[in-house]
Amino acid sequence: MQYPEPIAQLIESYMKLPGIGSKTATRLAFYTISMENDDVTNFAKALIAAKRDLHFCSICGNITEEDPCIICKDQSRDQSTILVVEESKDIMSMEKMKEYHGLYHVLHGVLSPIEGTGPEDINIAALLTRLQQHDNVKEVIVATNASSEGEATAMYLSRLIKPAGIKVTRLAHGLSVGADIDYADEMTLFKAVEGRTEI
């Protein structure tokens, strides 16, 4: 037996979201149907508003309602440091920490030859243009994930930026606070040893 067309379309729509398979999509679809009409209407309005009202900052590439974004407009931030992240959500994580006060740049992905993602497919050109136009930038902190693609992207950025005399650093990787060494994989231990600090 097939689902009625509206349910089938809803399931198909949910399956377009990352990490949502057919079982979860079906559960979400039936939950949506059981919601109050006002809740469904507000949910639909929130989806439409997010798609309609949000765009990328023309300077850093962060998701914003206004251009430039609030971070790029804030002259009290350290203009000499740019922290490069893979996605806009990474900026939110850094801002929660309340310890970094510089600027950001969002790549919208990482280099991945296997997936066919090259330098022209992510926001690298805008970063290089930004660095050329603002000679007050002294350090670029690469905060891509510790995956093979993240590491490759970090190395690629370093090779492009260092010749301009700008310091390129990488976030430290390794053991998290409270982690047991015997549960860590080889790469985590390698990064922990490599990033060791003097006490």
84 and 32 within one domain:
no
Percent of the chain with pLDDT over 90: 78
Query: The tokens 């950001």 sit on which residue?
Result: 104
135 within a domain of the structure (yes/no): yes
Could you tell me the CATH number of the domain that includes residue 46? 1.10.8.420
- How many domains does the structure of the chain reveal? 2
Average pLDDT over residues 155-179: 87
125 within a domain of the structure (yes/no): yes
Report the pLDDT value the prediction gives residue 118, as an integer from 0 to 100: 94
139 within a domain of the structure (yes/no): yes
pLDDT of residue 198 exceeding 70 = no
Could you give the CA distance from residue 134 to residue 123 in angstroms, rounded to a whole number?
Answer: 17
66 within a domain of the structure (yes/no): no
* DSSP-assigned letter for residue 136: T
pLDDT of residue 175 exceeding 80 = no
Among 54, 59, 41, CA closest to 127:
59
Could you give the CA distance from residue 167 to residue 66 in angstroms, rounded to a whole number?
Answer: 30
36 and 127 within one domain:
no
Asked whether the beta carbons of 32 and 11 are under 8 A apart, the reply is no
pLDDT of residue 131 exceeding 60 = yes
108 and 41 within one domain:
no
Query: In whole numbers, what is the pLDDT of the chain averaged over residues?
Result: 92
61 within a domain of the structure (yes/no): no
101 and 41 within one domain:
no
**With left for phi above 0 and alpha for psi between -120 and 50, is residue 91 left, alpha or beta?**
alpha
42 and 106 within one domain:
no
Asked whether the beta carbons of 124 and 148 are under 8 A apart, the reply is no
118 within a domain of the structure (yes/no): yes
Asked whether the beta carbons of 131 and 166 are under 8 A apart, the reply is yes
189 and 107 within one domain:
yes
For the entire predicted model, the pTM comes to 0.83
Residues of the domain holding 9: 5-53
80 and 27 within one domain:
no
